[in-house]
Structure 1
Amino acid sequence: MKKVWMMACLIMIARLLSAQANVQTLTIWDNRPATDWMTQAYPIGNGSLGAMVFGGVGRERLQFNESSLWTGDEQETGAYQAFGDVWISFDDSATAFTHYKRELDLNTALAKVSYEKSGTRFTRTYWASHPQQVIAVNFTAGKKGAYSGEIRLTNMHQAAVSASGKGLQVAGVLNNGLKYAAGLQIKHTGGTVQILQKDGVPVIRINKADGFTLVLAAATNYSNQRSLGWRGADPLPVIQKRLYQAASETVSRLQQAHIKDYQSWFNRASLQLGTATKAGDGQPTRERLLQYKAGVDAGLETLLFQYGRYLLISSSRLGGLPANLQGIWNDSNNPPWRSDYHSNINVQMNYWLALPANLPEMHQPYLDYINSMRAVKKDNTQKQYPGVRGWTVKTENNIFGGESFLWNTPGSAWYAQALWEHYAFLQDTNYLRQFAYPVLKEITEFWDDHLKRRPDGTVVAPKAGRPNMVHTKMV
């Protein structure tokens, strides 16, 4: 009996070791700071609040966004806007550094930076918390009094920055009347923290801190309800409450709440292509990408699959807006194609991954968006196509129902496909009856009225100058 028990233990150990050997490191990393926003900085996000991490040593930039910061209205499409930046400048910026690493861990949704200066190890951890609706950055060092420098909060719409307790805040109004606000708070250990005026602008001054944590919140007064004029609560009290609640928690509890929430989604799916190997882990991800065309890297393929899931979790959460052309990450007030919701396959492509990769909750914001736009789309469609029921869409679309560029007549049919596939995967009859069916019925009514019936039963989709472009036989 003892031998049987020992054999069973050995088999279990062998299986565990085998499983561990097949675990691939899901980390994107580099051995240098980012200098380019688009191709080098790492994105973090909680669905509505996002940031790009550069990992600068002497001067760090955290460029941030909020998903509902939009110009335009029901008539003008406008564009998705950049929100602002957090700039952190250290007094020892001229000192050389070594052993640098910047990484994004897809298993935990933590971005990290580490390096050495004058024999001291410095580390940072960045995360975007959905439970707390904030972005946090924790700075630690291997010796006391290691941090001295200044922290600034800037915004892309020239609203005045003001001091707020041990932090900074900004509040303003866009030309369309949309209110926005952001706030930054600091918690520190050792040393001192002051708010100083520099060139007429408040800055946070750190002197010989052992470590510190920055907490950032941002919001607008956008509502997805047309009946409310697309406006909701004043964002300034909202972000102040979030900052207060986050600052009341320990760094460890903030981080663990974030990881638990994120992993509840991310851990639903795993992928192994071939025999797992860590051969590529010793190379920065940018080098693996360059070398990929020379030969298969199954680990890189797995990494990119999971990176897609990471981006969707980070930019599309229940109760929020769907991912736009750039997710939620944008550094321009005039971004390409407005960083909008392009109805001619672009917004659909964002969500191809959601249902097959076991993230139906991340699919829901897309469906909620379709539902919220219906009333405006009906008005616009009936002006373009008099006498038809239901609705369809133009190519460029904003968060208020506004649209521009060409009519993308098949767009509503693509939207209908998303609504149906959500049911096909989940088989939720309540969802189908109460949510999807009313929208599907309206879209079907548009096509029933818009298509032209010939005497032989053929149904034609009309287009000026090309009446026979699309046809089918109705049975």
Structure 2
Amino acid sequence: MTMSMTTLRYRTPASRWLECLPLGNGTLGAMLDGAPSVTRIRLNDETAWSGSPESEHAGGVLDAASAATCLRQARDAVAAGDPMAAAQALMPTQVRYSQAFLPFATAELTREVPVTGYERELDLRTATHRTSGAGTVVERTFVSAPHGVLVHRIDGTALTGVELHTPHQVLASSTSADEAELLLRLPADVAPGHEPDATPVTWAQGPGQSLEGAVVAGIRREGGATVLVLATETTYAGLGRAPHGSAQDAAAVARRRVEDALRLGWDALAEAHARDYEPRFTRSRIELGTPEQHAAVADLSPDERVRRAQHADAPLAADPGLLSLLFDLGRYLLLSSSRPGSLPPTLQGIWNEEMQPPWSSNYTLNINAEMNMWAAHTTRLPECAEPLHDFVAALAQAGEPTAERLYGSRGWVAHHNSDAWLLTSPVGGGHGDVRWSAWPMAAPWLVRHVLDAVEFGAIDETALRRMWPAVRGAVAFTLDHVRQEGGRWTSAPASSPENAYWTADGEEAALDVTSAMDLSLAYEACRTAVRVAELLDVDDEVVAEARERLTTLPAEPEVATDGTLVEWASERAATDPHHRHVSHLVSLYPGHGCWSERAREAAARTLAERGDESSGWSLVWKGLLWARLGRGERVESHLQLLVRDAEGLSGPFAGGLYPNLFAAHPPFQIDANLGLPALLAEAVLQSHDGLHLLPALPPSLQEGRAEGLLARPGVIVDLAWSGGALVSARLRSGAGAVPVRVQWAGHHLDRVVTSEPLELVAADFTRPGRA
């Protein structure tokens, strides 16, 4: 595989966080500024959260009897056409807010480094950060997954000092010539910035009220080089579990990792890191553009390339390789923030610099946490999906009592937000807007990821059986919540996150009898449960109900009189016709996608009326929906909006890229970065309804190749195209002999794919007797 231009290279150090370059191993995250004299390595630990499992109940929770009254009042009000009263009735069901993912510490390294000839870079293929100055001064950094440490090597100059700092309470600290340690306590509570009346940060000293942690650094000389090894650890004991141990215990664990790594030395650590990381990264690649186009930008830094493309008449044609780089970056960030045994990525992956991060850098379950995983299977990183599966399995257990208490329902429920403590209640503190708080449908969307793993052949029976309670519980709740009454579907009080509509009285309302998203997710939940039950050879009353419900639930939304899709229970005028959420299209993507032509036309009209401009993650979702509709030119328009200088834009929802290529919501959210590889993969390969080659190729991406993409039901695909037309395709199966229908340019071939590569060229699709 030809791997070109997989490096982010800059000629000046970073002066702020959004210029720093990220490293990570799924648990330990680092942002490096590459400064030549005092370099700062900003550290994150994925387990560094405020609060504890008790945080969800800190402000009190509504008892079951009172909750039943609130739910009945809300449903009665919706049925009576009074959504405002329904919203008011639900306020007592809200808890305060989720807890926050926090920065952990900063390591400052001091040395005497000349600044002439300075360069810093992040090699995505090797997951290694490198800085260089004049002469022989070179520094290299990586974060090792096999050994759980950050490793930093300095050649050509001496390390003169190491200091550790933290925004948290310092319990103890020490520094010597060969080591440094910092013991700390995290906050017991951190309120989100959108709760201005709450105390921003609250500290407590009682046992179990908050996490404690440690940073340990060790230094050794190896010949003429200095090697620093650093580890972090907290008293986080696992999803939903109370903190366990002390900062001293955490320091002992971190110290053992540092000492073990130092005994191995740089060469052994670097070799283990390469063996672990590079084979995963190189599994798939999309290479766009020509050598001439690549050469034209070879000397430009990534931020310069973004500005150059933005001001071109045809941004993608001006620098198609920028999209290849973003594809690589997205997969790199997923590998760096989501590994087996870790937590799933938050809104910012595992990188955050703020004590009150935007939206608490939590798990936002009405789109963002799901989007983070959309590229895991199509770009062949199935292990990166495992943390989300673990999270869902644990959340299902936490959500069972919440479903019973708030809804009197079987199964489990989760709402808009969650955190490392498995919050499942609606948030808002009794005043939260119901357009986002009153959405109890996270469970059916989250278990849809299990069906993805099944369809791509990326989960074994043992793992699938472990996920069955979560799948069964999600559909059980959905069967109770989404039901027919009086000949019509209801999931009241229903919302379409995070949109609202105008009432006849000119008020903004968010609640309705049902919504297109609720019905779509119910259909997907039933599909998931039935398919998984068949594979596991299980059957019970819930599976039987799901099987029967599939025959009555709509597989696609209704079409309105204006030709768009109906978003709520009936035709409504949205208060924001250009809203960034397109929740009513969820079953087109990431759902089953097999819609009638009439519904597809309505989807296109809906997307057109929604407009293109939006936040980064919304641009990616809309682009994926256009890809499912086979509209490459509309995919291109959304990619053009994403490949912009975010700092030159205005407005609360204008997506673009920051200098280090982090994507803007704004501010930074990682979902667009992680979702973009899925969008590029979907533009060149789709498999939800047969195997489609180049189904939605953007017109400016005339030349390219894709290697190692994954199609359902486990077919690895290589593609090459020129002049926008297919040149060749290579298919091989990792799951035995599988029959597939391969489609391109309105033609199809029926073939059986095995482990032996099947080679196809464009002429195979048009010659007589091709089937």
| TM, length-normalised to structure 2 | 0.52
Which of 235, 251, 256 aligns to 2:271? It is 256
In the TM superposition, what are the counterparts of 1:313-462 in structure 2 within 5 Å? 313-385=335-407, 387-403=408-424, 404-405=427-428, 406-426=437-457, 428=459, 430-431=461-462, 433-456=464-487, 458-462=488-492
1:70 and 1:399 in contact (8 A); partners too: yes
* SS of the residue 2:375 aligns to: coil
Q: Name the amino acid aligned to 2:513.
A: P
Equivalent residue, structure 2, for 1:13: none
Aligned length: 422
Change in CA separation of 1:428 and 1:109 when aligned onto 2, cut-off 3 Å: closer
2:52 and 2:210 in contact (8 A); partners too: no
Change in CA separation of 1:262 and 1:432 when aligned onto 2, cut-off 3 Å: closer
1:373 and 1:400 in contact (8 A); partners too: no
Matches of 1:361 and 1:187 in 2, distance apart? 34
Aligned-residue offset at 1:254? 1.0
Matches of 1:340 and 1:451 in 2, distance apart? 27
Which of 5, 9, 16 aligns to 1:36? It is 16
Equivalent residue, structure 1, for 2:39: 60
Do structure 1's residue 220 and structure 2's residue 211 form an aligned pair?
no
Equivalent residue, structure 1, for 2:162: 151
Change in CA separation of 1:429 and 1:30 when aligned onto 2, cut-off 3 Å: closer
Aligned-residue offset at 1:121? 3.0
Matches of 2:394 and 2:25 in 1, distance apart? 22
Equivalent residue, structure 2, for 1:166: 178
Matches of 1:101 and 1:317 in 2, distance apart? 30
Q: Name the amino acid aligned to 2:138.
A: T
Gaps of 5+ in 1: 1-18, 191-209
Q: Name the amino acid aligned to 2:341.
A: G
Do structure 1's residue 51 and structure 2's residue 30 form an aligned pair?
yes
Task: Render the CA deviation track for 1:204-234: whole Å, top value 9, x for unaligned.
Answer: xxxxxx43111110011212255x5364793
Which of 203, 215, 238 aligns to 1:182? It is 215
In the TM superposition, what are the counterparts of 1:188-267 in structure 2 within 5 Å? 188-189=221-222, 210-224=224-238, 226=240, 229=242, 231=244, 234-267=249-282
Gaps of 5+ in 2: 57-97, 189-208, 429-436, 495-510, 520-550, 554-771
Which of 99, 115, 118 aligns to 1:100? It is 118
* SS of the residue 1:434 aligns to: helix
Aligned-residue offset at 1:244? 0.7
Task: Render the CA deviation track for 1:142-164: whole Å, top value 9, x for unaligned.
Answer: xxxx3252221112213121247
Matches of 1:433 and 1:42 in 2, distance apart? 36
1:32 and 1:102 in contact (8 A); partners too: yes
Matches of 2:131 and 2:377 in 1, distance apart? 33
Matches of 1:148 and 1:111 in 2, distance apart? 18
Matches of 2:245 and 2:327 in 1, distance apart? 37
Aligned-residue offset at 1:306? 0.7
Q: Name the amino acid aligned to 1:446.
A: F
Do structure 1's residue 288 and structure 2's residue 305 form an aligned pair?
yes
Task: Render the CA deviation track for 1:374-408: whole Å, top value 9, x for unaligned.
Answer: 222222232221x2111221222111112534143
Q: Name the amino acid aligned to 2:485.
A: R
Equivalent residue, structure 1, for 2:329: 307
Matches of 1:240 and 1:164 in 2, distance apart? 15
Matches of 2:471 and 2:173 in 1, distance apart? 47
* SS of the residue 1:169 aligns to: strand
Matches of 2:49 and 2:271 in 1, distance apart? 32
Matches of 1:449 and 1:34 in 2, distance apart? 53
Task: Render the CA deviation track for 1:411-444: whole Å, top value 9, x for unaligned.
Answer: 1121021121111112645146512222111000
Task: Render the CA deviation track for 1:158-205: whole Å, top value 9, x for unaligned.
Answer: 312124782011223333232211101111257xxxxxxxxxxxxxxx
Tell me the percent identity: 29
1:50 and 1:66 in contact (8 A); partners too: yes
1:463 and 1:469 in contact (8 A); partners too: no
Matches of 1:249 and 1:427 in 2, distance apart? 34
Change in CA separation of 1:388 and 1:125 when aligned onto 2, cut-off 3 Å: same
1:377 and 1:393 in contact (8 A); partners too: yes
Equivalent residue, structure 2, for 1:275: 290
1:420 and 1:436 in contact (8 A); partners too: no
Matches of 1:369 and 1:402 in 2, distance apart? 11
Matches of 2:368 and 2:20 in 1, distance apart? 23
Which of 116, 123, 132 aligns to 2:138? It is 123
Equivalent residue, structure 2, for 1:466: 512
The CA RMSD over aligned residues, in Å, is 2.2
* SS of the residue 2:141 aligns to: strand
Change in CA separation of 1:49 and 1:148 when aligned onto 2, cut-off 3 Å: closer
Matches of 1:373 and 1:427 in 2, distance apart? 22
Q: Name the amino acid aligned to 2:50.
A: T
* SS of the residue 1:373 aligns to: helix
Equivalent residue, structure 1, for 2:4: 24
Matches of 1:230 and 1:376 in 2, distance apart? 17
